[in-house]
Chains A and B, each alone.
Chain A
Amino acid sequence: MSEISPGLDLAKADQLIERHEKDATTVFGFWVYLMTDCVLFASLFATFAVLRNNTFGGPSGATLFSLPYALAETLALLTSSFTCGLALLAAQAKRKTQTLVWFMITFGLGLTFLVLELSEFHKFVAMGDSWRRSGFLSAYFTLVGTHGLHITIGLLWMVVMMLFIYKRGLNRLSLKRIRMLSMFWHFLDVVWIFIFTIVYLFGALHA
């Protein structure tokens, strides 16, 4: 922090430390929220694991899912997680334009992921394999749809964040929010690792 210089008066230093610790507490609180969100996903994963073979004469995962398609979704989300980290680094180095560019790339990749996921959903529903078809499909749409909903919220948040950075620059408040947004985005990528493995890869092996 460049404000600290040898001649600084102590009252101001105390104030800075206090603010810094307050921000750290807020970011930690957000991490606690993310961990409770894991419990939501864990219950959906458990439901999916229990219902995965209850196809009720409908299609199973092996006949329904296309592995290259799922891989494309995974690569889009993984790369967006990486570029989101680079956006945070640029923000911490106070490089405004670079931060905005990385966030735009992250947003583009995130949107690509969401469009891929929604067109997959659309294809299934159009074939008559919606969530009403079987227990397996109900569990599938609930689990993957909840993740997609989180991605949608993350994308909206990113738009708001970019506008905020553009208007107000990289101040203490925007840095705190960027840290939480990047945590949220990395977290969604972590959840997707398990969706990719348990839903798509395990689904292909169950054939």
Chain B
Amino acid sequence: MSNVAKMSKTLVSEHQPEQAKFKSYIIGFIASLALTMSAYFITYYHVSGGRALLFGALSVLALSQFLIQLFFFLHVGREFPPRYKLMITSFMILVVLILVGGSLWIMHSLNGRVMPSTNQMVKYMNSQDNL
């Protein structure tokens, strides 16, 4: 690719019309505000009965706000190929899912297998003089 073509490509990606960029920040801000306020109000007023449903709704709201801010504020996925920024962000999401999901899975499993019931524990503690 000639340098001039290369340059114009870089310039297009980083210097898109200012008004378009401004609009992108406005959309991101309004959407984030709306999502934050709805998450707050459904928690504050305990809208809807089921707790599982509430946790699900809050997770969906948080994830959509995450994606909105990545796109509108951090411009992930809006570059020209090769999209290195998008690649490394996706990899980060994978690592975070493995790290958090894996930890919770292991700890939950340990909790179920190892932890004695409260009665057993109290009995055991009483049987030990030094406890």
Contacts and interface: CB of A to CB of B under 8 A. Distances in A.
Contact of A67 (B22, B44, B69, B103): B44
Given A45-B100, A46-B103, A205-B51, A78 B29 contact: yes
A19 B73 CA distance: 25
Interface residues of B, number: 47
Contacts of B43: 67, 201, 204-205
Interface stretch (A110-118, A149-157, A185-193): A185-193
A173 interface: no
B18 A13 contact: no
B92 A78 contact: no
B131 interface: no
Task: Label chain A's interface by main secondary structure.
Answer: helix
Nearest to A45: B100
Contact of A183 (B10, B74, B103): B74
Interface string B30-62: 001100100110011000000100110011011
A79 B33 CA distance: 9
Contacts of A148: none
A169 to B, nearest CB: 19
A49 B62 CA distance: 16
Interface string A35-76: 110110011011101100000000000000001000100110
B62 A46 contact: no
A67 B43 CA distance: 9
A157 B58 CA distance: 33
A82 B39 contact: no
Nearest to A47: B103
B101 to A, nearest CB: 9
A192 B99 CA distance: 19
A135 B46 CA distance: 27
B16 to A, nearest CB: 10
Given A20-B10, A74-B40, A190-B66, 10 more contacts: A14-B3, A35-B92, A38-B96, A42-B96, A45-B100, A190-B70, A196-B36, A196-B62, A197-B58, A205-B54
Interface of B: 3-4, 6-7, 10-11, 14-15, 18, 21-22, 25, 28-29, 32-33, 36, 39-40, 43-44, 51, 54-55, 58-59, 61-62, 65-66, 69-70, 73-74, 84-85, 88-89, 91-92, 95-96, 99-100, 103-104, 107
23 contacts: A1-B11, A13-B3, A13-B4, A17-B3, A17-B7, A20-B7, A21-B10, A28-B85, A31-B88, A35-B88, A39-B95, A39-B96, A85-B25, A86-B25, A89-B22, A186-B69, A186-B74, A190-B69, A190-B74, A193-B36, A193-B66, A201-B39, A205-B43
